[in-house]
Structure 1
Amino acid sequence: MGIEARAISLLDDGRRRYDPVKPVIRSHLARRFPRQAQTRILFIYADDQIAWPQIYPFYHDADRFDRQGYAFRAVPYPAENAEHLIKDASAILIQSFYVLPDGELVRVLERVKSANPHAPITYLDWFAPTDVRFADRVADYVDLYAKKSLMLDRDHYRVPQAAHTNLAAYYSDKAGLTVDEPNWRCRPDIVDRLVLAPAFATAPVLLKAFEQRQAIPSGSRPIDVHARFALAPAQLHAEGRVDAGERTHWYVIMRREAEQAVRALAARHQVAWQGRVDRAAFMSEMDQSQLCFSPFGFGEICWRDLEAVLTGAVLVKPDMSHLETFCDIYRAGETYVPVRWDLSDLEDVVADLLKRPDECRAIAERAFAAIKRHLDGPKLDMLLQRLTAGTASAG
């Protein structure tokens, strides 16, 4: 692992003791491109733990890409005072933050396009939902729009949406809530430019953990089901949307329904679910768990999905058959076990799996092997070729 990959790992690490060196790291990542580089990739990144998995794998495998003639540089969004790198780039990949001042993203893209009108630009949407809500802002400037998950039926993106996300639409309707209407419009012309991008499997901490483990743990698994999850993030508490009433958020309804389902499981099985534990204890529990129940969050994909695969706990999750993901660990009955979105079959699915420990082991091993193949395979190389060419291909 090269110095740039280690540098990004420190940026990704939230511990305060690294704060004094972070300005030095950012300066190092933003140094000039080497003259001999054939293909110069500029990342304009959002400094956020959830955003790093889209960028980190290119640095983690930088030696391999260097032999192919690639060089990478990175500057934090909105790329102020980075015109020298923008002008020298062969391709530009840009992230932004979720909440932005009016017109800011367009101004950034106009500045980037003006400085380098020939380099293909990809917008890296690192956000949880499967929608393409930034399409109306970026479509006039970008060649590609990349997401970590996309609806299998791409026609979903060709029509205006009644709710912000597919999950918001489903759970709001199910609970009789008034949906928050989108303040963005769907740009049908972006559909042919949609591509899949890396997600949590290539986060620094997880990618390194998968490299260090050659197989799932073989020890005893006294915990039947691991199911620790929050009922609501701090932002919904701050907005007063966690209590019953017309302003209750769909996320809270969804997670409370999941909590009730887990409570029923705990009456019959050994379940790790109540309270908060630190990360070390969380991962230790996962190592000892036969199954991991991972409900949806603001989007379908969760950190817990990959942590389950890493530790050898069989991933049990609401059905993912409507999605495509860059790293495909959502093959029903092969690498995960789906349940209905209303969780009406969760108890039966869990009881059946716990009767078949050998099959559980087989599912867990196939999921782990799928991640290892993904990290070792050519998919990242193919994506990089597509991003630098600035053209999408089917699927």
Structure 2
Amino acid sequence: LHNVEGPYRLSQLLRDEYREKLILGWNLATLQAFYEQFKRQGYKSFKKNKRNIDINCRLNLRKDFPSGSRWFYFHRSSTINELGKLNGKYKIIATDEYVPHKVYLNELKNSKICISPFGLGEINRKDFEAIINGCLLIKPSMERMVTEPDLFIPNQTYVPVKWDMSDLNEKCEYYLTHNEERERVIKNAEQAYARYFKEKRFVE
């Protein structure tokens, strides 16, 4: 993560000889499994009036990787540590403990907010699982990313936070206490994702 401090800091800029290897491809939003689930739901996010998990951040720290290659460990572990400051005030799942995928999806259906830190890349399955299951997606700012379909419109389809997560808890508390704002962003994300699948084109 460029310009993010930590023991696994990566700050080397891309060298010119590698630029031609970069191409713009479709992101994980286009996965067939997501399409099929969203279609079964009528291109609507999963609706549940009462959700008793305020914040969900279940992730993998990849402790099985050699320590020198776990460059995202600091970023993800910092996210868990930051959310720990809200324990006791809100119902939070912030852990690297493994559960079966079906259990995890059921948790999302019962969660108000899903936190999706960067991992091996900026975009991961969690982003779209959050939208499909009716959670507010909060993740590090995507303003530097060029991707298709682009479902990452700041404060419209997701809530951006700083890459060092220093404003994460502030954003979480705001949207937990402003239900209408939270539902507005969730609805926008649902509609943007539905447009992509229905119209077979990228979101502008």
Same fold (TM over 0.5): yes
The residue correspondences of 1:308-347 to structure 2 (distance < 5 A) are 308-347=130-169
The list of structure 1 runs, each at least 4 consecutive aligned residues, that deviate by more than 4 angstroms after superposition, is 176-182
Which of residues 79, 87, 99 in structure 2 aligns to 1:266?
A: 87
Structure 1 partner of 2:56: 226
Does 1:376 find its partner at 2:194?
no
Whole-angstrom distance in 2 between the partners of 1:287 and 1:370? 19
Query: Which amino acid in the other structure matches residue 216 of structure 1?
Result: S
C-alpha separation in 2, matches of 1:322 and 1:179: 16
C-alpha contact 2:8 2:73 (8 A) present in aligned 1? no
TM-score (norm 1): 0.47
- Superposed, 1:287-298 pairs within 5 Å as 287-298=109-120
Contact 1:232/1:251 (<8 A) preserved? no
Cα deviation, 1:232-263, whole Å, max 9, x if unaligned, reads: 253x2xx2x1xxxxx47431111211120122
Q: CA deviation at 1:378?
A: 4.2
Counterpart of 1:105 in structure 2 is none
Structure showing greater Rg: 1
**Structure 1 residue identity aligned to 2:146:** E
User: Residue 46 of structure 2 aligns with which residue?
Assistant: 217
* Offset of residue 333 of structure 1: 0.7
In the other structure, the counterpart of 1:175 is 6
Q: Map of 1:1-395 to 2, 5 A cutoff?
A: 167=1, 169-171=2-4, 174-175=5-6, 179=10, 186-187=16-17, 190=20, 196-214=24-42, 215-219=44-48, 220-232=50-62, 234=64, 236=65, 239=66, 241=67, 247=68, 249-274=70-95, 275-379=97-201
2:6 maps to amino acid = A
Relative distance call for 1:175 and 1:190 in structure 2 (3 A) is: same
* Deviations, residues 164-191 of structure 1 (Å, cap 9, x unaligned): xxx2x333xx126575979x95337739
Residues 267 and 342 (structure 1 numbering): CA distance in 2 closer, same or farther, change over 3 Å?
A: farther
Provide the aligned length of Structure 1 versus Structure 2. 200
Q: Is contact 2:9-2:71 (8 Å) kept?
A: no
CA RMSD of aligned residues (A): 2.6
**Equivalent-residue separation in structure 2 for 1:253 and 1:342 (angstroms):** 10
Instruction: Give the 3-state SS of the residue equivalent to 2:72 in structure 1.
Output: helix
Tell me, yes or no, if the aligned pair for 1:328 and 1:370 is still in contact at 8 Å: no
* RCO higher in structure (CA 8 A, sep ≥6): 2
Deviations along 1:66-88, whole A, 9 cap, x unmatched?
xxxxxxxxxxxxxxxxxxxxxxx
Q: Which runs of 5+ in 2 are unaligned?
A: none
Distance 1:179 1:356 in 2: 36
Question: 1 CA distance for matches of 2:106 and 2:9?
Answer: 41
